[in-house]
Amino acid sequence: MTDQTPPVDEMDYETMTHEALRTVIRDGLLRAASPAGLPGAHHFYITFKTRAADVSVPPDILAKYPDEMTVVIQHQYEDLDVQNDRFSVKLRFGGIPRVLAMPYTAVTRFYDPSVQFMLQWDDPEVIEEPAPAPEPDAPAPAADGPKVVSLDQFRKK
Contact 47, 74 (CB under 8 A): no
| Residue 99 within any structural domain of the chain | yes
- Could you tell me if residue 31 is inside a domain? no
57 part of a folded domain: yes
Give the residue, 135 or 36, on which the prediction is more confident. 36
Q: Is residue 134 part of a domain?
A: no
* Average pLDDT of the residues of the chain: 83
Tell me which residue range forms the domain holding 56: 43-121
CA angle 30, 17, 116 (to 5 degrees): 55
Q: How many domains does the chain have?
A: 1
Please state, in angstroms and rounded to a whole number, the distance separating the CA atoms of residues 87 and 82. Answer: 4
Instruction: Tell whether 94 is covered by a domain.
Output: yes
Q: Give the model's pLDDT for residue 54.
A: 95
Whether residue 154 is contained in a domain is answered as no
SS3 of residue 120 by DSSP: strand
Does residue 47 lie within any of the structural domains? Answer: yes
For position 143, what pLDDT does the model report?
A: 45
- Please give the pLDDT value at position 146: 44
Tell me what percent of the residues of the chain surpass a pLDDT of 90.
61
pLDDT in tens, 43-85: 999 999 999 999 999 999 999 999 999 999 998 899 999 999 9
Identify the weakest region by mean pLDDT among 15-24, 40-49, 145-154.
Answer: 145-154
- Are 26 and 82 a contacting pair, CB within 8 Å? yes
The model's pTM is: 0.74
Percent of the chain's residues with pLDDT above 70: 76
Beta-carbon contacts of 78 under 8 Å, excluding residues fewer than 6 positions away, are: 89, 90, 91, 97
Higher pLDDT, 124 or 54: 54
Q: Could you please report the per-residue DSSP string of 55-119?
A: -B--HHHHHHSSSEEEEEESSS-EEEEE-SSEEEEEEEETTEEEEEEEEGGGEEEEEETTTTEEE
Residues 70/47, Cβ–Cβ less than 8 Å: yes
Selection from 27, 26, 15 nearest residue 87 by Cα: 26
Give a yes or no: residue 22 inside a domain. no
CATH at 83: 2.30.30.220
More confident call, 125 vs 104: 104
